[in-house]
A and B are shown apart, each in its own frame.
Chain A
Amino acid sequence: MGDTPVLRLVEITKRFPHVVANDRVSLELLPGEIHALLGENGAGKSTLVKIAYGFYQADSGEIYVHGKKVDISSPRDARRLGIGLVFQGFTLIPALTVAENVALFLAELPWVVRPRDLHRALREASRRYGLELDPATPVWQLSVGEQQRVELLKLLLANARILIFDEPTKVLVPHEVENLFRVFQGLREDGYSLIFITHKLREALTCADRITVMRQGRVVGTVRPGETSEEALLHMMFGERLGEVVRAAGREPGEPILELRGVCTKPVGTAPGLADVDLVVRAGEIVGVAGVSGNGQRELGDAILGLLRITRGKKLFLGEDATRWPPRRLIQKGVAFVPEDPLAMAVVPWFSVLENLGLLDPRRFSRLGGLGLDWAGVRAHLQAGFARLGLNPLPEQARAATLSGGNLQRLVLVRELSRPYHLVVGLYPTRGLDVRSANAVRQALLAAREEGKGVLLISEDLNELFSLSDRIVVMLRGRLVGEFRPEAANLTEVGRCMTGAGVGHA
């Protein structure tokens, strides 16, 4: 195993209208290494790997594979050179089976495909790396994690030796992430070279042999995990010191804002319904909801927002019976909502920032009973909102779809939290965000608590829950199975409770 890099990108520059995505970026991937590409959203990581895969063409710069200069002008070229990329959004056809999806990808397949050979090859590869996939399963039946494995199998069977993953952990739950990293290790032992993109420090530190940090389209540096620290990496990612999220000391919470009494909902699909959920959120407190995702957290949020029918039990909002209120009434009475994936759940992608803001609060900006809209008012409100939350204003006319995840979430925060409200429901509000944006969200939730609002924070990130919450409840299969005070509990206890290993107590 020589030390010639298997892949070398030299001085790659790529401009898009209005933005330089990659500015003279160089990167070396050594044989048999796992290389993490770390940076916040919009740092240019994705663009760089797409250039290596021939999906984009660089404006200038050179690419070397095994020391030889190559010209990659399409994914086909990249594949011929043994480079494979797993995209963020997968490229599978749901109606076809695993084997059929893989077969579609293999260029050198003969006219008549012999399923038996293909199935055998697939089984072997999937067994070798512990992927546990049945080639005959239709893809639509697979979980997101399993679909990712199909994407990986495609690359393996196409004889790719350089494997690139664009934010592979974004769509995975924690235990799936661990599995994926085990697969990575196995691949490395077999001599594959891997690049994976992430914006999570810990993933880079636990899994990678080397870490290259990017910021605003440039490489800041390449380090080894043993020779660096979280602190140093954060500094590389953001340049400046980040404000710490600090929760003020606990006060006595005030009046109950939201009360759920024995709330049940019908299960939908494979998701569990809520079963006898009792929960109180008081003014000036943050109640954290912990749990492995898919245990009824989304249903809890939807039941509170009035999107999911409560079949039994009662919901009180500010002491009024709100069990049957439609979403609009709850919003008008003062429920704010910050979801996980704003592009899908909170904004209209091709609306401008201004239009998306105008959507809230039907009465406030409406003129002539809906025939008009007070756009100047919306604009003023938007600016005031950004100022109030201490955020940099976004361009008013920019379309939501062109904003980064972090900026989108800022837009949602401004929309939801700059009007009179009493309760904020956060449904994985920091999922998929870079550290700085996630901190902006956390800061906003803490500010809401300071102002005496009630906050319900549904999250998977135990560190986040411990640093923000006054109380933590744990959901398991649609039930609340434990309640903790962060100062009196530790991560392991809550973690055990989340996996059903034991019932916790306050």
Chain B
Amino acid sequence: MRSLGWTRLGWPALRLLLTVAIVLGVFGLFLWALGKDPIQAYRDTFRLNLLNPRGLAGVLARMAPLLLTALGVALPFRSGLINVGAEGQFLMGALAGTWAALNLPALPWGLHLALVLLAGMGGGALWAAIPGALRALGWVNETIATLLLNYLAPLVVGYFVFGPWRAPELAFYPQTPEFPASARLPLWFGTRLHLGFFLGLFFLLAYAYLVSRSRWGLELRAVGGNPEAARRLGLPVERWILAAMVLGGALAGLAGITEVAAVHARLKLDISPGYGFMGFLVNWLAFAHPVGILVMSFLLAFIASSGFTLQITQRLPYAAVNVLMALILFTVLAKPLAREVRR
């Protein structure tokens, strides 16, 4: 814990490298067993997703929702809460933002978009406020509540896209009409890179600063670190629990609405390939550390993009990527337990 710089940074970096090596090796065997050429597959993947600017922009665009949902998990995590519900908060953020996009009267471009994003945050926040309040009152464990609400959120979204908000022009496809231009997120450099990525970076920096340096962050972490002491110090423990969930939900909701406003331009049922769950994974792997969140969300975004590449170049089913994800999870979780055993 009190070790010097080398062990502080060197070990995690070495671990990360080893993890990547093991994962690439084992997945290579998997590809080989399927009769593919792993070297060629990896070469294509790297070339198309990292060395090619358009490909890299695609990876960064995919990183945006991961950064935000990971932060949405990390913030409650710091106050001792396990938010498994980023997926539901993502969808509800998309829903609320869509309402603002489709129903607000004509507004100047920047203002409309700002309101859409705020509405998205509000939707995620309200959805997260339910488990937050239940936990603060001491009624229901937040892990269970957020998990179950994940099953509810798609049904709510489904009700609107099948029902009142369904676009008339494509009647058999359940989706809303297209967003007006004033509610769309700007894309840059003629690529898929959009404002959401920079919002993600901004909130990552804000998270890093506020959590470690501010009075709020200190109280938030104290509530997570030792609730008994926090209570005795007169910190409003229940209010912090609610606040942490609401803020986390707002970030996950922002992820939802940026994804919709930048990529799909309309609300549909399949806007998330599990970004909320991947955000949970990112936070778990990063242990709520800002640098870790940055690295891990890039890594996962890269892998998700690689999945599409492999589909095209190697004619692999996308499910193969899930094998890769699972491999990563196992490798990273295979931590030495020695540290925990020590007193």
Say whether A and B bind each other: yes
B234 in contact with A372 (CB, 8 Å): no
A370 to B218 alpha-carbon distance, docked (Å)? 10
Query: Is A331 an interface residue when CB atoms closer than 8 A count as contact?
Result: yes
Binary contact track A338-364/B, C-beta < 8 Å → 1, others 0: 010000111111110001001110100
A373 touches B213 (CB 8 A): yes
Tell me if B213 and A375 are in contact (CB < 8 A).
yes
User: Chain A contacts of B210 at CB under 8 A?
Assistant: 371
| Number of residue pairs spanning A and B whose beta carbons lie under 8 angstroms apart | 81
Q: Is the CB of B2 within 8 A of A373?
A: no
Asked if A344 and B218 sit within 8 Å, CB to CB, the answer is no
Question: Which residues of B173-228 have CB atoms within 8 Å of chain A's CB atoms?
Answer: 210, 213-216, 218-219, 221-222, 225-226, 228
Asked if A398 lies at the interface with its beta carbon under 8 angstroms from chain B, I say: yes
Chain B residues with Cβ below 8 Å from A397 are 2
Q: Is the CB of A346 within 8 A of B215?
A: no
B residues contacting the other copy or chain, number (CB 8 A):
23
Contact (Cβ within 8 A) A358 B215 = yes
CB of B144 closer than 8 Å to a CB of A: no
State which residues 28-46 of B face A: CB under 8 Å.
none
Query: B1-28 toward A: CB 8 Å interface, digit per residue (1/0)?
Result: 1110000000000000000000000000
Q: Which residue of B lies closest to A335 (CB)?
A: B234
Docked-complex contact B233 and A359, CB < 8 angstroms: yes
In the assembled complex, how far is the CB of residue B227 from the closest CB belonging to chain A, in whole angstroms? 10
Contact for A346 among B1, B2, B218, B229, CB less than 8 A: B229
Please give, as numbers and ranges, the residues of chain A lying within 8 Å of B47 by CB-CB distance. Answer: none
| CB <8 Å contact, A327 and B232 | yes
- What's the least CB distance linking A90 to chain B, in Å? 13
CA distance A366 to B234 in the complex (A): 15
Provide the residues of chain A in CB contact with B230, threshold 8 Å: 348
Contact with B229, one of A347, A355, A365, A402 (Cβ below 8 angstroms): A347
A348–B222 touching, CB < 8 Å: yes
Asked whether, in the complex, the Cβ of A328 is within 8 Å of the Cβ of B229, the reply is: no
- Check if B225 sits within 8 Å of A326, measured CB to CB: no
Say if the beta carbon of B231 comes within 8 Å of chain A: yes
Q: How long is the Cα–Cα vector from A329 to B234 in the complex, in angstroms?
A: 8
Q: How far is the CA of A305 from the CA of B235 in the complex (A)?
A: 13
* Cβ–Cβ < 8 Å partners of B168 in chain A: none
Tell me the count of chain A residues lying within 8 A, CB to CB, of chain B. Answer: 39
Q: Are B235 and A328 in contact (CB under 8 A)?
A: yes
Cβ–Cβ contact B219 & A359, under 8 A: yes
Find out whether the CB atom of A327 lies under 8 angstroms from the CB atom of B234.
yes
Q: Counting CB contacts under 8 A, is B236 at the interface?
A: yes
- Report the bound CA distance from A305 to B228 in whole Å: 13
Which of B2, B228, B234 touches A345 (beta carbons < 8 Å)? B228
Select the residue from A18, A305, A355 with max chain B CB neighbours within 10 A. A355
- Contact pick for B226, options A326, A347, A399, CB 8 Å: A347
Nearest neighbor of B226 in chain A, beta-carbon distance: A348
Residues of A within 8 A of B218 (CB): 355, 358-359, 373
- Contact residues, A288-331 vs B (CB, 8 A): 305-307, 326-331
Residues of chain B with a CB closer than 8 A to A360's CB: 233
Is B231 in contact with A307, judged by CB distance below 8 angstroms?
yes
* Contact call B221/A372, Cβ cutoff below 8 A: no
Give the complex CA separation of A279 and B15 in angstroms. Answer: 60
CB of A344, distance to nearest CB on chain B (Å): 6
Min CB gap B312→A, angstroms: 46
In the complex formed, the residue of A with least CB distance to B218 is A358
Contact status B214-A344, CB under 8 Å: no
Given A17-B3, A370-B214, are A305 and B222 neighbors across the interface (CB < 8 Å)? no
Asked, given contacts A330-B234, A339-B232, A402-B2, whether A348 binds B221 with beta carbons under 8 Å apart, the answer is yes
Selected from A346, A362, A365, A367, the residue in CB contact (under 8 A) with B232 is: A346
Extra contacts besides A337-B232, A348-B230 (17): CB < 8 Å: A306-B234, A327-B232, A328-B235, A331-B233, A331-B234, A344-B229, A345-B228, A346-B229, A347-B226, A350-B225, A359-B233, A365-B215, A367-B215, A370-B214, A371-B216, A372-B214, A373-B218
28 A-B pairs within 8 Å (CB atoms) are namely: A17-B2, A306-B234, A327-B234, A328-B236, A330-B234, A332-B234, A344-B226, A344-B229, A345-B228, A346-B229, A347-B226, A348-B226, A359-B222, A360-B233, A362-B215, A362-B235, A365-B215, A366-B215, A370-B215, A371-B210, A371-B216, A372-B213, A373-B214, A373-B215, A373-B218, A397-B2, A398-B2, A399-B2
- CB-CB nearest 4 A-B residue pairs: A328-B234, A348-B225, A327-B234, A331-B234
